[in-house]
A and B are shown apart, each in its own frame.
Chain A
Amino acid sequence: MSKTITIDGLTVPFRDGQTIMDAALASGVYIPHLCHNPEFKPHGSCKLCTVNVNGRNAASCTMPATEGLQVLNDTAELNDERRALVQMLFVEGNHLCPSCEKSGNCQLQAVAYYLEMMSPHYNHFYPTREVDASHPGILLDRNRCIYCELCVRASRDADGKNVFGLTGRGMATTLIVNSASGRLGDTTLAVTDKAVQVCPTGALMKKGLAYTVPIGRRIFDHHSIKDVQTGGGHE
């Protein structure tokens, strides 16, 4: 008899060592998330995956599953809080979807669609952030970075290159590039590296693809991120 937890009344099995997020994804239960990717060690920073566990809120991507946990996930209250978090992500950066190549394939946008975010609600910061176009095949646009650290983890753990890092704290956090010049073009980052594939937004993108798949025919134009991430795995 396998061990189980309960998510919104549904019995979900888990193995020792799995987090609530792991167990949920394995059973096709969607918990909204941005900084989590099952291929990498959890970061627990975006807090979108916050669920109510036995009466207390916890990040499901870092919270280990233990026998009999009662988890609330898809509730109006939690989704309201998640929407507010996404709204804050939108106003903290410069997320102007009509001018972004990633639009329609962007997980930040997709989560906003899923949570029915009709406006960013808060006052926009319109921060000034640097764009690094020095790499021949890859564009780094910090305007769209949400500091999920996925490229940092992928470059370190999967590519073994350690190209990216986060520096600073709080509002001063920035994504830096590990080269003497600080420019992407002076690193060994390759277009095929995992770090380039995992960005949930349009911060790290392959050059030259542009609008080969037109707006309106992209994945989240027609499919909810809930179905994409519980059915066909991560994009």
Chain B
Amino acid sequence: MTDKVSIVIVSHSSEVAKGAADMVRQMVGDDVAIASCGGNSEGGLGTDVAAIMQAIDAVWSPKGVAVLVDLGGAETNSEMAIELLGPDKAKQIVICNAPVVEGAVMAATEAAGGSDLEAVRQTAEDFKA
């Protein structure tokens, strides 16, 4: 169990999600738990509610989880996954309105410093290319 905010990356493509997570790990190290998930339940492009729930659970932190998503369906499916995890956990999860790769790096950098979930979200969302 981690004492920092964790990061979950959700993309339509498992390769994009995994690649983004690799970049974050290389840039901020292993202090912050990062999970990635992408692809629909058949392995094609898309997102999978059950996989998103598992990814969030895999890096669950009492300090919260910041979720970065790419396109529409990733966001809607992530919102659904958060709701299905139940109200107690849902309070501790936010979806950041930020580009997936840059947002994940910024969020993880902020999380590595021990910031709370709201600060992590702010930093990710303040990012401007």
A, B co-complexed: no
